[in-house]
């Protein structure tokens, strides 16, 4: 991607549907011998990878605009080999969904963004707790059971994926399952709404415990994928880093509260007008002395790199601590090449902001870190080239077109 920076972004955008809400819903569709229709589904690589796995298992899948149709009536329980599973981390939740429907499943270890070790121990433990036997044969994780039985399981860490895994396995299990110390990220909440709409019986007992009464079967469903809170935050960062004025349609305000709180502390202003989020970043000028990523409703790890790029342009010293993933500061190297002054030690990053950014040739190493480099390019003087932007396109449906619509000067080099 080539970016010629230095112009404040101005204008209005509609936010795409959420990747991380869509992926487990697509996986969940195999639980039902029938149809799932997902509106507002983002057409991005990760959604295609998940859909490809389902097609390989006999699902009929097709698109009409941004509506994804899935017919799982002919699904069989095939093995999901490395070539499919390693394309993305969230392929692992198919294990719970397939065991839920067929009482057996086999999948290779999942892949995903390189942001530190990403174990799957709790994914497997929760399945075991529900009565599944798990073994590893030739690099495949094999799960089988006579029947899934409701049980109680407490997560060691609040994990989005492992919570979704537990839910998918428990929906059709016999009896009641209690999942304790769950993630309450919006993507878990949306999965529960989606499943309840099609006949599941899942309730929150409090902010972190979930109770699932197993049902015999699910029903066909049509569902609207919610807006992507991370894409919304990224585009607000694009406004902030260029000191522009960006308006977003299709945002759920309460899902980005922690972000907006930091934005205001930097000097950003916002209001809600006719359902749109109207932001004004002309006075963004204050460093953030301490910012920690946390589970929801705290500041999301997925917006840590975009925020780091913004803080690199704000005079004064900011400090970010990444508490969710061990190695999620990969964007810092590219930012440093563009003139940012960032010092990293373990899970801490200190940003000495305010030195002007200049264009450079940098490399995206993962999705959100790559997006952060694009934002930095929009603020930098001169030309920036972001290589490997296929990483970025795994999560952003039209990042180039969207930022261009806001007045950014950038193009996707399609020559490769
Ligand atoms: N963890 C374990 N064992 C497990 C599962 C997780 O130790 O069995 C640890 C992880 O290593 C990590 C922590 O628990 O330290 C939290 O990870 P979590 O499981 O919540 O992350 P995830 O489900 O793999 C999802 C999103 C990520 C997002 C994280 C945190 C999807 C497809 N991915 O990952 O999104 O960063 O939650 O909110 O939903 C992205 O979109 O760029 C992205 C990486």
Residues 6 or more apart in contact with residue 62 via CB below 8 angstroms: 68, 69
Neighbours of 125 (CB within 10 A): 18
Tokens of residue 71, six digits: 């017919």
145 classed as catalytic? no
Mutate to test the pocket of ligand 1, among 158, 161, 256 (most ligand atoms within 8 A of CB): 161
Pairing, β 383-387 against β 2-4? antiparallel
Length, in residues, of the chain: 416
Q: Please state, in angstroms and rounded to a whole number, the distance separating the CA atoms of residues 187 and 17.
A: 12
How many other CB atoms are found less than 10 A from the CB of residue 276?
A: 16
According to the model, what pLDDT value does residue 112 have? 54
Can you give the pLDDT of all 416 residues of the chain as single tens digits? 999 999 999 999 999 999 999 999 999 999 999 999 999 999 999 999 999 999 999 999 999 999 999 999 999 988 999 999 888 888 999 999 999 999 999 999 886 555 566 789 999 999 999 999 999 888 899 999 999 999 999 999 999 999 999 999 999 999 999 999 999 999 999 999 999 999 999 999 999 999 999 999 999 999 999 999 999 999 999 999 999 999 999 999 999 999 999 999 999 999 999 999 999 999 999 999 999 999 999 999 999 999 999 999 999 999 999 999 988 999 999 999 999 999 999 999 999 999 899 999 999 999 999 999 999 999 999 999 999 999 999 999 999 999 999 999 999 987 54
Q: Which of 122, 128, 119, 73 is nearest to 99 (CA)?
A: 128
Helices 121-129 and 160-170, packing angle to 10 deg = 20
- Distance between start and end Cα atoms, the chain: 11
Residue nearest (by alpha carbon) to ligand 1 atom 37: 160
- Atom 16 of ligand 1: nearest residue by CA position: 159
Closest CA to 258 of 299, 307, 303: 299
Task: Determine the Cα–Cα distance for residues 181 and 163; give it in Å rounded to an integer.
Answer: 9
Rounded CA-CA distance 249/277 in Å is 7
Cβ 166 under 6 angstroms from ligand 1? no
The span from the CA of 102 to the CA of 98, in Å, is 6
Q: How far apart are CA 101 and CA 147, in angstroms?
A: 10
Nearest CA to ligand 1 atom 7: 119
Ligand 1 center from residue 159 Cα (angstroms): 6
CA 117 to ligand 1 center in whole angstroms:
10
For 74, list phi and psi in degrees, rounded to 5.
Answer: -105, 15
């Amino acid at each position: 991607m080539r970016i010629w920076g230095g112009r404040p972004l101005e204008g209005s955008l509609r936010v795409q549907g959420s990747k991380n809400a869509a992926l487990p819903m697509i996986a969940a569709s195999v639980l039902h011998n029938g149809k799932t229709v997902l509106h507002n589904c983002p057409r991005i690589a990760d959604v295609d990878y998940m859909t490809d796995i389902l097609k390989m298992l006999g699902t009929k899948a097709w698109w009409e605009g941004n509506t994804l149709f899935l017919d799982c009536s002919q699904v069989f329980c095939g093995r999901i080999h490395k070539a499919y599973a390693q394309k993305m981390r969230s392929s692992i939740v198919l294990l719970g969904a397939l065991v839920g429907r067929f009482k057996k499943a086999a999948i290779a270890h999942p892949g995903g963004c390189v942001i530190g070790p990403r174990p799957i121990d709790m994914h497997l433990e929760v399945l075991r707790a529900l009565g599944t036997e798990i073994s590893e044969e030739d690099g495949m994780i094999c799960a089988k059971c006579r029947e899934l039985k409701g049980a109680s399981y407490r997560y060691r860490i609040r994990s989005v994926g492992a919570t979704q895994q537990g839910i998918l396995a428990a929906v059709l299990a016999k009896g009641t399952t209690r999942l304790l110390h769950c993630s309450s990220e919006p993507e878990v909440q949306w999965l529960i709404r989606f499943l309840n709409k099609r006949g599941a019986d899942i309730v929150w007992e409090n902010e972190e415990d979930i109770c699932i009464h197993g049902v015999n079967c699910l029903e066909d469903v049509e569902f609207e994928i919610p807006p992507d809170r991370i894409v919304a935050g990224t585009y607000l960062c694009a406004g902030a880093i260029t000191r522009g004025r960006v308006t977003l349609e299709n945002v759920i305000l309460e899902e980005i509260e922690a972000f907006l709180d930091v934005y205001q502390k930097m000097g950003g202003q916002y209001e809600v007008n006719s359902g749109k989020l109207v932001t004004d970043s002309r006075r963004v000028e204050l460093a953030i002395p301490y910012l920690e990523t946390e589970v929801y409703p705290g500041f999301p790890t997925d917006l840590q790199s975009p925020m780091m790029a913004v803080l690199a342009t704000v005079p004064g010293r900011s400090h970010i601590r990444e508490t969710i993933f061990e190695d999620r500061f990969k964007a810092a190297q590219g930012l440093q090449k563009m003139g940012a002054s960032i010092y990293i030690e373990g899970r801490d990053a200190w940003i000495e902001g305010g030195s002007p950014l200049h264009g450079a040739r940098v490399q995206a190493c993962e999705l959100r870190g790559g997006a952060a480099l694009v934002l930095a390019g929009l603020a930098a003087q001169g030309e920036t080239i972001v290589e490997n932007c296929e990483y970025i396109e795994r999560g952003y449906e039209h990042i180039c077109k969207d930022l261009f619509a806001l007045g950014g000067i950038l193009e996707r080099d399609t020559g490769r």
